[in-house]
C-alpha cells in the first residue's frame, strides 16, 4: 500500500498520467490486510496481485492513445 501511494505521489509530482487508480489500489491493499489476518498470507498475496493487475489495467484503459510519427 505504501509503495502504491508513494508511486501515485511521484507520478503526481512529475505530472505523469493519473494517480487515482494507484491511490485506489493503495486503499484496497490496506483493506486486503484483513484477508492476511483472517485467512492466510498466501490469500492476501493473491489478492494483492489481483488488486495491482486491475489497477494497471484500468490505468491503461484510461490512458489516451498515442500516435507515433
Q: What is the mean pLDDT of residues 60-64?
A: 79
pLDDT at 47 over 90: yes
What's the whole-model pTM score? 0.78
Helix pair angle (2-14, 20-38), 10° resolution: 180
Burial of 37 (C-beta count, 10 Å sphere; 0-12/13-18/19+): exposed
Residue 65 three-state SS: coil
Amino acid at each position: 500500500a505504501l509503495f502504491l501511494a508513494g508511486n501515485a505521489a511521484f507520478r503526481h509530482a512529475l505530472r505523469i498520467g493519473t494517480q487515482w487508480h494507484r491511490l485506489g489500489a493503495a486503499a484496497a491493499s490496506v483493506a486486503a490486510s484483513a484477508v492476511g489476518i483472517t485467512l492466510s498470507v498466501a490469500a492476501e498475496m493473491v489478492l494483492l496481485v489481483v488488486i495491482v493487475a486491475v489497477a494497471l489495467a484500468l490505468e491503461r484503459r484510461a490512458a489516451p492513445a498515442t500516435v507515433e510519427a
